Amino acid sequence: MSDLQIGLILLGILLILVVVMFNWWQDRRIRQKMQEHFPERDNDPLMGAQPQGPVRREPGFGSMITESGEAAADDDAEVDPGTEVVIDISFAQPVASGQLQQAVQGLARAGNKPVRIFAERDGGGHRARLRANETYVSMQLAVLLANRNGPLTDIEWSQLWSAAQGLAERFDGVIEAPEQDEVVRRAAQLDELCAGLDAQVGLILRLNETVAASEARQVLEDAGFLPYGRQLAWMSDTGVPRFTALFDGISPQELKSESVNRVDLLLDLPNSPADEQAFSRMASVGRDLARRLHAELLDDQGRPVSDGADETIDRQLFDLYRNLEHAGFEAASERTVRVFS
């Protein structure tokens, strides 16, 4: 074997050793970097071992982790495209729940229209409320298009748009939303639709003499009325008021006078459960209260209520309940209450 051949063989072996050493060095460097980012743990969760000691949970809006350690399921509440319009804000980087909560504090209304806030979790997941220890890649501001205060106005939309711009600037986000003219047009359409579906029926108990407010309240409670928020209500089996009582035209809780001259019963159709005897139930209670309070029972036009009209009015009101349902507004449902408020 010549010197040239031996030299070539030695050179080949040397090159092989250099490649092996280089690969070993590269592998060692990569492992060190991985350990810096993912340090070893005493208990490997992939092997089923359990961490020692209690797990600390940061205070916040709720837990994002179930007891099994899996991410919580999507929230049920979603944007209602038929009654709400949405401004979508996509963030350049995921935003922590604490930061987002601080940023949206006070953003509950745009003028007279309620605003609901939704968010999409980093890694997937729809949220109707923020949760501790989560980060979010986008959020949606859903504003009601119309309610009993009228349609969403251009001023109210501008207020929400300005708030959305502030959020986008704060988190380097991008805004996506429909044009203002389209929003105002949709709001006017919904308002017109709901105006034709809305209905309230009242009865008046005109007292023969002034009664102490506390006495009138006690009479109503003895008859079966129950406190419901700031109201006195005649409740249905589902826990929703069938009709409510007013003292001198306002809620008993808001009455500042110590005496009462008039008691009203109010049946708010969209906000009460559908009932084939909606009016006759209220009229029956009204007649009982008239005896207890020594009052005269009148309709909302100030005319005496005749017994024979109950069934006719029941049928008319039940037709209105069906009209609501056909239009997509089931009486007393959450969606309906949002719009007819």
Question: Could you tell me how far CA 23 lies from the centroid of its own chain?
Answer: 57
Asked if 284 and 303 sit in the same domain, the reply is yes
What's the CATH number where 112 sits? 3.30.1400
- 172 in a domain, yes or no? yes
Residue that is last in its domain, among 137, 172, 194: 194
Dihedral over alpha carbons 19, 24, 29, 31 (to 10 degrees): 140
* E-strand stretches of the chain: 84-96, 109-110, 113-121, 126-127, 135-144, 146-147, 150-151, 173-176, 200-212, 226-228, 231-235, 241-247, 259-268, 295-299
Res 14: pLDDT: 76
pLDDT tens digit string along 224-271? 999 999 899 999 999 999 999 999 999 998 888 899 999 999 999 999
Could you tell me if 89 and 164 lie in one domain?
yes
Q: What is the dihedral of CA 183, 184, 187, 189, to 10 degrees?
A: -110
In this structure, are 137 and 238 located in the same domain? no
* Local structure of residue 203 (DSSP, 8 states): E
Q: What is the DSSP letter of 40?
A: -
Res 27: pLDDT: 56
Domains held by the chain: number: 2
Does the pTM surpass 0.85? The reply is: no
- Residue 73: predicted pLDDT: 82
The domain boundary, picked from 171, 194, 217, lies at: 194
Rounded to whole angstroms, the Cα distance separating 233 from 243 reads: 6
Question: 247 and 267 share a domain?
Answer: yes
Residues 321 and 231 in one domain: yes
Whether residues 223 and 253 fall in one domain? yes
Sign of CA dihedral 320, 277, 305, 309: positive
Write phi, then psi, for 234 (nearest 5 degrees).
-95, 110
d(CA 205, CA 295): 6
Q: What is the CATH number of the domain that holds 215?
A: 3.30.1400.10
- Domain extent at residue 147: 84-194
Residues of the chain with pLDDT under 70: 1-5, 7-8, 18-20, 22-72
Residue type, 48: G
Report yes or no on 17 lying in a domain.
Answer: no
